[in-house]
């Protein structure tokens, strides 16, 4: 640091301010110091910096089933937001969201002196563990219900399902069938609730939901069943991977999409626009989920009382898998 200060013509204290609280340093001075940092390839000593600031500059994330598109995209959004503020992220993956597994994961992160923890908890079963977190640890939860004693950042699943269902009814379909996600998933429950609320409000028949497991295979199996029923003309599928299976089942059965059956998915995975036909779906802004959860956590770390819960509205993306119902 002394070498950087000498090169920039400032004091070591000014170098420290540039690295830790740059907004308190004049732009021209800050630029000189940063130029010297780059020229000398200076890297702060993280242990010494932690002693000065009282922070490690590391955030912990507890994540579940990162092989699925939603949790993986959420994790990526958190990492991107943290990186933009020069925070490192350390991740603990758990195979179940029980009180014990969440507690053990949080303890592992505390041993690494993290400044705070983001918990990605899309299961109803996580609620008990989330109500028994250490009171002195800043925590934010992603994707959980809003009745928890900690801040929550989540996409409004009910609104997304409402928009998908209303879109299909607006095309003249008498009702909408639904291939849902697993029962214990909060996202799946929200999408069922939104779909059902629209059909109830419109006085439409409410078919029994078909329980899937988020996989294309389960969508394919349920799609074969739907394809055999000539009354099925519109299907809202709880994620795009299952929707891919539904599309294939309908095609193999000779039911054309969207001429015979309209299909809407959920997530807007990168492949959705390149399926045949391109899939109408509900887009979740996972980058915004990451940014909001990170900001909520910084508020907790800094002792600021921010909004306890933040909901992000999803966007209906209409492509070529939906069309007006043909008469007959």
> Looking at residue 211, which CATH number applies to its domain?
3.40.50.2300
In a domain, 322, yes or no: no
Read off the pLDDT of residues 158-210 as tens digits, 9 standing for 90 and up: 999 999 999 999 999 999 999 999 988 999 999 999 999 999 999 999 999 99
Residues 91 and 233 in one domain: no
Q: Please tell me whether residues 111 and 207 are part of one structural domain.
A: no
Q: List helix spans (H) across the chain.
A: 2-8, 12-20, 27-39, 46-53, 69-84, 99-111, 127-130, 157-170, 186-201, 216-227, 240-252, 286-301
Q: Is residue 323 part of a domain?
A: no
Residues 279 and 293 reside in one and the same domain: no
The packing angle between helices 216-227 and 240-252, to 10°, is 40
Judgement on whether residues 200 and 217 belong to the same structural domain of the protein:
yes
Residue 51 in domain: no
pTM of the model: 0.80
Tokens of 298: 């910084």
Same domain, 296 and 186: no
Same structural domain for residues 135 and 162? no
Task: Tell me which residue range forms the domain holding 194.
Answer: 157-284
- Average pLDDT of the chain, as a whole number: 88
Q: What is residue 306's predicted lDDT score, i.e. its pLDDT?
A: 61
Same domain? For 12 and 93 the reply is: no
Please indicate, yes or no, if residue 326 is contained in any of the structural domains: no
Whether 172 maps to a domain, the answer reads yes
pLDDT at residue 51 tops 50: no
Question: 165 versus 120: which is more confidently predicted?
Answer: 165
pLDDT by residue (tens digit) across 136-172?
889 998 877 767 778 889 999 999 999 999 999 999 9
Total structural domains within the chain: 3
């Amino acid at each position: 640091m002394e070498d950087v200060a000498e090169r920039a013509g400032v004091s070591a204290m000014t170098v420290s301010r540039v690295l830790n609280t740059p907004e308190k340093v004049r732009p021209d001075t800050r630029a000189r110091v940063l130029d010297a940092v780059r020229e000398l390839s200076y890297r702060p000593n993280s242990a010494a910096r932690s002693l000065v600031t009282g922070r490690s500059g590391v955030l912990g994330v507890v994540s579940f089933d990162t092989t699925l598109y939603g949790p993986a995209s959420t994790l990526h959004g958190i990492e991107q937001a943290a990186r933009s503020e020069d925070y490192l992220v350390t991740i603990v993956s758990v195979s179940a969201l029980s009180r014990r597994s969440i507690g053990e994961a949080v303890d592992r992160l505390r041993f690494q002196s993290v400044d705070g923890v983001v918990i990605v908890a899309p299961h109803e079963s996580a609620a008990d563990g989330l109500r028994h977190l250490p009171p002195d640890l800043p925590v934010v939860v992603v994707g959980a219900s809003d009745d928890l004693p900690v801040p929550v950042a989540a996409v409004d699943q009910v609104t997304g399902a409402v928009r998908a269902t209303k879109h299909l009814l607006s095309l003249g379909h008498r009702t909408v069938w639904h291939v849902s996600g697993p029962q214990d998933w909060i996202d799946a429950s929200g999408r069922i609730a939104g779909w059902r609320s629209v059909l109830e409000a419109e006085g439409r028949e409410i078919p029994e939901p078909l329980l899937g497991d988020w996989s294309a295979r389960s969508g394919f199996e349920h799609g074969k069943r739907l394809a055999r029923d000539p009354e099925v003309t519109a299907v809202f599928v709880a994620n795009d991977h299952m929707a891919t299976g539904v599309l294939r089942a309908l095609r193999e059965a000779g039911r054309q999409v969207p001429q015979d059956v309209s299909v809407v998915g959920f997530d807007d995975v990168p492949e959705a626009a390149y399926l045949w036909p391109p899939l109408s779906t509900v887009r979740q802004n996972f980058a915004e989920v990451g940014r909001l959860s990170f900001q909520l956590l910084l508020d907790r770390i800094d002792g600021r009382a921010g909004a306890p819960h933040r909901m992000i509205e999803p966007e209906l993306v209409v492509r070529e898998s939906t069309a007006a119902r043909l008469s007959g």
